[in-house]
């Protein structure tokens, strides 16, 4: 026991360095004190919920502030307000939050329970026994069956499928729905399902300590004195589901909290919006302001006490602890601190949360962003960022799968210098392919995919003719890939491909008669023109983003060893034999042609290998494969040894169709002054072409600027010339930015917007970008890029994508939005690191089609932003007005911290009386309806410039609040001063005065909602109805409460000390002066605000105001005009792409499902 304890302590203190375990040896494994497989995502239990939750809540500044206030209020010397004025709102706020937390946690508890109590078969003493998930220990061997979720992170030992392959679905982990294959080690897979062998298995595993890197696992299995290397291909991660595999056995390596899934969960960084930041700054300002006011009032009190209070002691003696006016002033400072606490609105944060939640709900429920084919609505995963959507200035978009559909269609090819795929009519004129064009019939091939269509007969003729090059070309397509074929029904093949490009190529080969039938780890079965031929697979040199190519080495039935390679033309270009230069030039011409049509291109080549050369190479290869250190770079250098002197076969062209309405969307977004940067791994020409197709670049642009230098100097020169072209003066020293840079080179600062001389587009190459980012050219790059209308960064690595986003965020300080669908976009979405596979997990908003983006930004984003801004202005205004009244009153009550209102009014003001108009304003306000905001994207602009709520607006609120409070104090004061009721009794008593003031205050504040709403734009009838309801409802509610609290019967009599305003309602509400004074106050407060709102667009017009005018002019909302698609002209250069993911690697399959793979877009915000 002592050993165990010391070890486990060690583990905790030093952190686990390495995981060491032995299969089937519970005693040994327990020495390390690994946790069991229980997971706990819940935060609280019944006993610690209250203290823990309260503790967490009081860590919030606002709540802590109110706790301090509460304590202050309990000190009788300075308590100027009854304790319940603070306690009731605080309790309400706390309990709302606590209830939300409790519900969330309850769900987590249920989830945990359900998961922990799932049962799984565990090997115990030679038999399989059912055990609960939570009781699984490290080192156990468990059996998983088809469609079961994986219990823990386990090492795959054996499975029912040939070669111990196991298919898993990782949707829960990374959102990808295609199946992945894992394969066990040869040595363990031999045990199959022999329980005796499995129980005797005593392999020892040494591997990484638990970590959160989903893409990495290295370890060594020691079994029968031999070492076997372990990698991610042998590890089944918790969160995956077993598919297409009857059973598999695995050794538990990481359990419960140590699993990669759990290590990855939680700890999500909390994104704060601009408005959050602004709000925090403003709250600080308010604090300062509050401090100032308290100080002024304390001084006032001190003077009053000396001049008046001292003599007034006849009536009101100083208390024992007040020895001088100075002491009294200090106490009064705190008393005022309590009274004026409403300046810092406690309910602000809660209300903001509620509003955001409501707006997220709108997004989730929007039927127009619901994608029916996938049955998936748009979703706001992070609810706190809605208003940022209304402020987006830069959109960083991935191309493949985001702008395009990610459905690849084999379109054209060039084989040995001949171009196939284009259709010509009888006169040799090229014909546009349309619905009517006759499709090629693949009737000779019974395994053909009926969905495949091709229009050029000559290629089929060539195949039928037995052209050796054409045959070799398609053979290579049928062999060089990592696609897996599934044949559930005889003759019905379904391919499961890692990348859609590969799928398209293999499907093409299939239709032309080179059908991939099945594959195993060592063979590939291809039906070539009806004949079944089995190739021996010797090696797969898999694709990687660096290599940009992949190869297979096979042994043909004729005992020749062939290497087939396909890859990006720029790479393959350099690896070809010099002898095929003429062919290469012809092929390059064809590639240019393909590229000009926006097709994705690949080059295909082959090489015949000498047997002895291959033997030697293969030995080296296997050695390197078992090497632990630096394996990847060694492997790639080994690969390079064999991938050279290639013979060119031809090239393929694949069409990647644009998604629906992409050009329109981009055009709309452009009009909204949102700049779109496309960050893609594609080749420059392809990217440019897509940019033209999608309207990102337009024909009438003044020029495209290319930056494609490969070293610092060229890049610098290119950037400078670009800058010169767009804005000649920007290079001069006199330019303000340059002079600023010269003086303060190191300071972080914000680059202002610059106006270019025309419409330009910038295209920058990956390696130029690397130079620019490394070589202190960041600023030049950024200035050039930001002046352009559209920017395309091609050949980007995921890390570079993130760097670009970082760059803009750093110097522009604007809201950016990154959108992408795949693992390679995650880093840009997260903005940090490059751990892949978590696209969905890391996104803030998800939706299915690119064109939903305009709705998300222009409609929902704009609304959210406007609502939030109006809410904040209004909220601050109403609280200023409310609180500042005390300030004015102080001058008339000897600065004695007397409140103007009844304590109950203070308690309920934010909570009840004014919450309805606020909610109505912030949840239902639509200044213009959705049609208009899509029709006039210009309306989006104020959000980007942050015009509707900023420090200036805040000051306006403050001034307005001061004015209103002034009016609200002095009008009632004038009214009650020495004035009588009609029965001669006076109405100038304190309680009547309070009632008049608070009633007028509530009227004014409620009416002010109208100016906020009406002021900015025309109102819709929709809003008017709801507004009426909420405004009058709220006022009505106030009077109900008033009558209840202040009437002369009911509960109020029982507790006369708490309900002191007994009978005031009855006596004062009947007085005509009250109503006259209310009307006067409302008029005086609302009219100037209305006048200001009316004059503002006339005197200081914003660009949006014109739009509002236009909207006013047009009575009926127009339907959104459908723009005709821009036609592509063939004049543009475009090019070759090889966008491809790492393949299934050396894993092979015989059966798979095909799942339609619609990309899901992930968006994330950056500040």
Q: List active site positions.
A: 398
DSSP-assigned letters across all residues of 76-102: TTT--S-THHHHHHHHHHHHHHHHHHH
* Stretch of 412-420, 462-470, 603-611, 971-979 lying at the interface with other proteins (CB under 8 A): 971-979
Query: Binding to other proteins by residue 317, rule CB under 8 A?
Result: yes
Paired residues of 221 in beta bridges: 205, 228
Strands across the sheet containing 1161-1166: 379-380, 845-847, 1161-1166, 815-820, 392-397, 675-679, 790-794, 760-765, 703-707
Angle between helices 1103-1113 and 1072-1099 (to 10 degrees): 110
Compute the residue count for the chain. Answer: 1167
Residues contacting residue 183 through CB under 8 Å, at least 6 positions apart: 156, 163, 164, 165, 166, 233, 234, 521, 1146, 1147
Q: How many other C-beta atoms lie within 10 A of the C-beta of residue 221?
A: 22
The CA dihedral of 1032, 1036, 1039, 1045, to the nearest 10 degrees, is: -130
Tell me if 824 is assigned to a ligand binding site.
yes
User: Residue 182, annotated ligand binder?
Assistant: no
* Through-space distance between the first and last CA atoms of the chain, rounded to whole angstroms: 52
From the list 152, 343, 815, 976, which residue makes contact with other proteins (rule: CB under 8 A)?
976
Across-strand partners of 145? 247
Task: Take residue 84 and report the two structure tokens written for it.
Answer: 């319940």
Q: 200 is written with which tokens?
A: 């005797």
Q: Is 501 annotated as a binding residue?
A: no
Closest to other proteins by CB, 688 vs 1074, is 1074
1095 near other proteins (CB under 8 A): yes
Give the burial class of 967: count Cβ atoms within 10 A of its Cβ; 0-12 exposed, 13-18 middle, 19 or more buried.
buried
Binding residues among 106-145 for other proteins as defined by CB under 8 A: none
Residue number with CB closer to other proteins (472 or 971): 971
Compare residues 530 and 1101 and give the one whose CB is closer to other proteins.
1101
Any contact of residue 1060 with other proteins (CB under 8 A)?
yes
Q: Which of 378, 840, 856, 971 binds other proteins (CB under 8 A)?
A: 971
Q: In angstroms, rounded to a whole number, what is the distance separating the alpha carbons of residues 964 and 884?
A: 9
The yes or no reply on residue 778 touching other proteins (CB under 8 A) is: no
Does residue 973 belong to the site contacting other proteins (CB under 8 A)? yes
User: Any binding-site annotation on 161?
Assistant: no
Interface with other proteins (CB under 8 A), residue from 2, 59, 574, 1057 = 1057
- Closest among 806, 856, 853 to 828, alpha carbons compared: 806
Q: Which of 280, 986, 1123, 1133 binds other proteins (CB under 8 A)?
A: 986
Judged by phi (left if over 0) then psi (alpha if -120 to 50, else beta), residue 181 lies in: beta
- Distance of closest approach, residue 989 Cβ to other proteins, in angstroms: 4
Please say which residue, 127 or 1066, places its beta carbon nearer to other proteins: 1066
Nearer to other proteins, 648 or 1062 (CB): 1062
The answer to whether the annotation marks 400 as part of a ligand binding site is yes
CB of 893 to other proteins, least distance (A): 4
Select from 3, 14, 46, 314 the one that contacts other proteins (CB under 8 A).
314
Sign of CA dihedral 55, 57, 59, 65: negative
User: Going residue by residue from 1102 to 1141, which x/- string records binding to other proteins, judged by CB under 8 A?
Assistant: ----x--x--------------------------------
Size of the site for other proteins (CB under 8 A): 69
Comparison of 183 and 335: residue with beta carbon closer to other proteins: 335
Short-list 847, 945, 1163, CA closest to 393: 945
> CA–CA distance from 628 to each of 153, 218, 818 (Å)?
22, 9, 37
Segment interacting with other proteins (CB under 8 A) among 104-112, 694-702, 972-980, 1149-1157: 972-980
- Which listed residue (298, 808, 1084, 1089) binds other proteins by CB under 8 A? 1084
Supply the DSSP string of 588-613, one letter for each residue. Answer: HHHHHHHHHTT-EEEEEEEEEE-HHH
Strand partners, 949: none
- Rounded to whole angstroms, what are the CA distances from 471 to 462, 529, 550, 607, 623? 9, 9, 20, 15, 35
List the one residue from 60, 216, 308, 1123 that touches other proteins (CB under 8 A). Answer: 308
Longest dimension (CA), the chain: 123
301 vs 683, beta carbon nearer other proteins:
301
Q: Is 436 assigned to a binding site?
A: no
Which of 186, 979, 1070, 1103 is the binder for other proteins (CB under 8 A)? 979
Residue among 197, 721, 991, 1020 that touches other proteins (CB under 8 A): 991
Beta carbon nearer to other proteins, 747 or 1099? 1099
Binding site annotation covers 1115? Answer: no
Both structure tokens of 1069: 């509400």
Does 592 carry a binding-site annotation? no
Q: Nearest-CA neighbor of 769 among 760, 780, 758, 761?
A: 780
Nearer to other proteins (CB atom), residue 354 or residue 1090: 1090
Q: Which residue, 734 or 978, has its beta carbon nearer to other proteins?
A: 978
CB closer to other proteins, 77 vs 1024: 77
600 is annotated as contributing to ligand binding: yes
Among 881, 994, 1149, 1164, binds other proteins (CB under 8 A): 994
Q: Which part of the chain contacts other proteins (CB under 8 A), choosing from 63-71, 862-870, 981-989, 1005-1013?
A: 981-989
Mark out the alpha helices in 891-978 (DSSP H runs). Answer: 903-908, 915-924, 930-935, 941-944, 951-976
Q: Is 140 annotated to bind ligand?
A: no
Q: Is 399 annotated as a binding residue?
A: yes
Q: Which stretch binds other proteins (CB under 8 A): 173-181, 271-279, 341-349, 1097-1105?
A: 1097-1105
Is residue 453 a contact point for other proteins (CB under 8 A)? no
Paired tokens of 1164: 């994330």
Binding status of residue 83 toward other proteins by CB under 8 A: no
Joined together, the tokens standing for residue 780 give: 């030049």
Q: 112 with 42: CB under 8 angstroms?
A: yes
Pattern 383-402, binding to other proteins, x per CB under 8 A? --------------------
Is 898 near other proteins (CB under 8 A)? yes
In the complex, least distance from residue 345 CB atom to other proteins, rounded to whole angstroms? 23
Sign of the torsion angle spanned by Cα atoms 602, 603, 608, 609: negative
353 is an annotated ligand-binding site residue: no
Which position among 1, 3, 46, 315 is part of the footprint of other proteins (CB under 8 A)?
315
656 is in an annotated binding site: no
Q: Tell me how far apart the alpha carbons of residues 300 and 333 are, in angstroms, rounded to a whole number.
A: 10
821 is in an annotated binding site: yes
Could you say whether residue 894 binds other proteins (CB under 8 A)? Answer: yes
Tokens 């925090």 identify what position?
A: 280
- Check the annotation: does 387 bind a ligand: no
Among 41, 146, 670, 1067, binds other proteins (CB under 8 A): 1067
Rule CB under 8 A: say whether 720 interacts with other proteins: no
- Long-range CB pairs of 943-948 (<8 Å, 24+ gap) are 943/390, 943/391, 943/392, 943/861, 943/862, 943/865, 943/866, 944/391, 944/392, 944/393, 944/673, 944/674, 944/814, 944/815, 946/274, 946/391, 947/1102, 948/865, 948/866, 948/869, 948/870, 948/873, 948/1016
Pick out the residues of the known binding site for ATP: 398-400, 502, 543, 566, 600, 680-682, 795, 801, 824-825
Pick out the residues of the known binding site for Mg(2+): 398, 400, 821, 825
Pick out the residues of the known binding site: 398-400, 502, 543, 566, 600, 680-682, 795, 801, 821, 824-825
- Please report, as ranges, the residues that interact with other proteins according to CB under 8 A: 76, 80, 308, 311-312, 314-317, 319-320, 335, 892-894, 896-899, 971, 973-994, 1048-1049, 1053, 1056-1057, 1060, 1062-1063, 1066-1067, 1071-1073, 1076-1077, 1080, 1083-1084, 1087, 1091, 1094-1095, 1098-1099, 1101, 1106, 1109
């Amino acid at each position: 026991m002592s050993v165990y304890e010391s070890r486990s302590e060690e583990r905790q203190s030093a952190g686990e360095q390495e995981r060491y375990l032995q299969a089937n040896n519970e005693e040994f494994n327990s020495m390390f004190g690994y946790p069991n497989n229980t997971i706990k995502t819940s935060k609280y239990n019944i006993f610690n919920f209250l203290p823990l939750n309260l503790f967490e809540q009081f860590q919030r500044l606002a709540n802590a502030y109110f706790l301090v206030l509460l304590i202050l209020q309990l000190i009788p010397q300075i308590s100027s307000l009854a304790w319940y004025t603070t306690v009731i709102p605080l309790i309400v706020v706390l309990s709302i939050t606590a209830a939300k937390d409790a519900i969330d946690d309850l769900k987590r508890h249920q989830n945990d329970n359900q998961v922990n109590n799932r049962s799984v078969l565990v090997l115990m003493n030679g038999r399989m026994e059912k055990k609960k998930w939570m009781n699984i220990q490290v080192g156990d061997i468990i059996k998983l069956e088809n469609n079961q979720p994986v219990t823990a992170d386990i090492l795959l030992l054996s499975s029912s499928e040939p070669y111990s392959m196991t298919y898993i679905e990782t949707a829960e982990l990374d959102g990808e729905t295609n199946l992945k294959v894992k394969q066990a080690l040869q040595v363990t897979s031999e045990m199959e399902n022999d329980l005796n062998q499995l129980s005797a298995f005593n392999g020892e595993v040494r591997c990484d300590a638990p970590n959160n890197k989903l893409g990495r696992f290295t370890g060594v299995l020691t079994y029968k004195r031999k070492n076997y290397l372990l990698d991610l291909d042998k590890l089944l991660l918790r969160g995956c589901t077993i598919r297409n595999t009857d059973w598999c056995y695995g050794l538990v390596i990481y359990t419960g909290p140590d699993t990669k899934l759990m290590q990855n969960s939680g700890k999500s960084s909390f994104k704060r919006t601009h408005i959050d930041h602004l709000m925090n700054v403003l709250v600080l300002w308010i604090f300062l302001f509050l401090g100032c006011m308290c100080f002024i009032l304390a001084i006032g009190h001190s003077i009053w006490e000396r001049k008046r209070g001292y003599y007034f002691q006849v009536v009101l003696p100083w208390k024992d602890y007040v020895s001088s006016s100075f002491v009294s002033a200090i106490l009064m400072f705190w008393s005022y601190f309590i009274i004026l606490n409403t300046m810092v609105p406690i309910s602000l944060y809660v209300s903001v949360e509620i509003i955001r939640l409501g707006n997220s709900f709108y997004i989730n429920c929007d039927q127009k962003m619901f994608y029916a084919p996938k049955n998936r609505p748009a979703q706001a995963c992070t609810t706190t960022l809605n208003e940022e959507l209304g402020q987006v200035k830069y959109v960083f978009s991935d191309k493949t799968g985001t702008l395009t559909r990610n459905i690849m269609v084999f379109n054209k090819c060039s084989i040995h210098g001949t171009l196939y795929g284009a259709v010509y009519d009888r006169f040799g004129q090229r014909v546009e392919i349309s619905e009517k064009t006759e499709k090629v019939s693949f009737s000779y091939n019974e395994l053909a995919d009926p969905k495949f269509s091709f229009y050029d007969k000559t290629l089929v003729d060539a195949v039928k003719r037995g052209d050796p090059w054409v045959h070799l070309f398609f053979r290579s397509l049928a062999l060089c890939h990592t696609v897996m074929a599934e044949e559930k029904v005889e003759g019905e093949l379904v391919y499961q491909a890692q990348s859609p490009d590969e799928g398209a190529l293999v499907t093409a080969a299939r239709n032309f008669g080179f059908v991939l039938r099945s594959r195993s780890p060592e063979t590939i079965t291809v039906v070539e023109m009806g004949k079944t031929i089995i190739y021996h697979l010797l090696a797969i040199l898999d694709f990687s983003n660096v290599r940009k190519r992949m190869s297979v080495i096979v042994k043909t039935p004729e005992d020749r060893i062939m290497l087939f390679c396909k890859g990006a033309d720029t790479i393959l270009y350099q690896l070809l034999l010099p002898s095929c230069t003429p062919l290469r030039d012809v092929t390059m011409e064809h590639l240019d042609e393909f590229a000009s049509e926006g097709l994705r291109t690949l080059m295909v080549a082959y090489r015949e290998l000498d047997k002895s050369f291959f033997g030697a190479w293969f030995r080296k290869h296997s050695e390197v494969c078992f090497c632990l250190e630096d394996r990847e770079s060694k492997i790639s250098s080994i690969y390079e040894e064999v991938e050279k002197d290639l013979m060119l076969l031809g090239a393929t062209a694949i069409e990647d169709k644009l998604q629906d309405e992409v050009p329109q969307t981009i055009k709309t977004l452009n009009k909204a002054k949102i700049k779109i940067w496309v960050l893609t791994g594609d080749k420059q020409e392809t990217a440019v072409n897509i940019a033209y197709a999608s309207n990102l670049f337009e024909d009438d642009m003044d020029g495209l600027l290319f930056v494609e230098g490969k070293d610092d100097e060229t890049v610098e020169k290119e950037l400078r010339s670009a800058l010169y072209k767009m804005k000649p003066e920007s290079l001069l020293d006199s330019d303000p930015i340059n002079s600023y840079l010269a003086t303060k080179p190191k300071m972080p600062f914000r680059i202002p917007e610059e106006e270019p001389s025309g419409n330009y587009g910038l295209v920058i190459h990956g390696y130029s970008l690397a130079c620019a980012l490394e070589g202190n050219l960041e600023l030049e790059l950024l200035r050039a890029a930001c002046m352009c209308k559209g920017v395309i960064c091609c050949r980007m690595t995921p890390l570079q994508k993130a760097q670009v986003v970082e760059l803009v965020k750093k110097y522009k300080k604007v809201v950016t939005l990154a959108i992408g669908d795949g693992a390679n976009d995650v880093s840009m979405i997260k903005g940090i690191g490059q751990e892949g596979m978590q696209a969905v997990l890391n996104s803030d908003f998800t939706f299915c089609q690119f064109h939903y983006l305009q709705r998300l930004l222009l409609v929902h984003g704009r609304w959210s932003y406007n609502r939030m801004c109006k809410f904040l202005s209004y909220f601050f205004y109403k609280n200023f007005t409310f609180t500042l009244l005390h300030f004015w009153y102080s001058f008339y009550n000897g600065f004695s911290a007397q409140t103007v209102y009844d304590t109950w009014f203070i308690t309920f003001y934010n909570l009840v009386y004014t919450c309805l108009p606020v909610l109505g304003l912030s949840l239902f306000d639509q200044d213009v309806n959705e049609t208009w905001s899509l029709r006039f994207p210009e309306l989006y602009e104020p959000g980007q410039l942050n015009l509707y709520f900023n420090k200036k607006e805040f000051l306006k609120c403050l001034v307005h609040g001061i004015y209103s409070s002034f009016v609200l104090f002095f009008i009632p004061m004038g009214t009650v001063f020495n004035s009588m009721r009609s029965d001669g009794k006076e109405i100038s008593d304190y309680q009547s005065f309070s009632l008049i003031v608070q009633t007028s205050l509530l009227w004014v504040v409620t009416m002010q909602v109208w100016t906020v709403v009406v002021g900015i734009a025309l109102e819709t009838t929709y809003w008017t109805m709801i507004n009426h309801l909420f405004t009058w409802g709220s006022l009505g509610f106030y009077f109900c409460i008033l009558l209840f609290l202040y009437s002369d019967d009911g509960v109020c009599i029982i507790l006369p000390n708490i309900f002191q305003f007994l009978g005031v309602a009855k006596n004062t509400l009947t007085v005509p002066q009250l109503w006259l004074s209310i009307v006067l106050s409302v008029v005086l407060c609302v009219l100037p605000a209305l006048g200001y709102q009316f004059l503002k667009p006339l005197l200081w017009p914003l660009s949006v105001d014109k739009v509002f005018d236009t909207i006013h002019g047009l009575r009926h909302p127009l339907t959104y005009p459908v723009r005709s698609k821009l036609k592509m002209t063939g004049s543009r250069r475009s090019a070759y792409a090889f966008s491809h993911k790492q393949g299934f690697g050396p894993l092979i399959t015989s059966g798979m499902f095909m799942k339609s793979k619609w990309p899901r877009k992930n968006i994330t915000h950056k500040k």
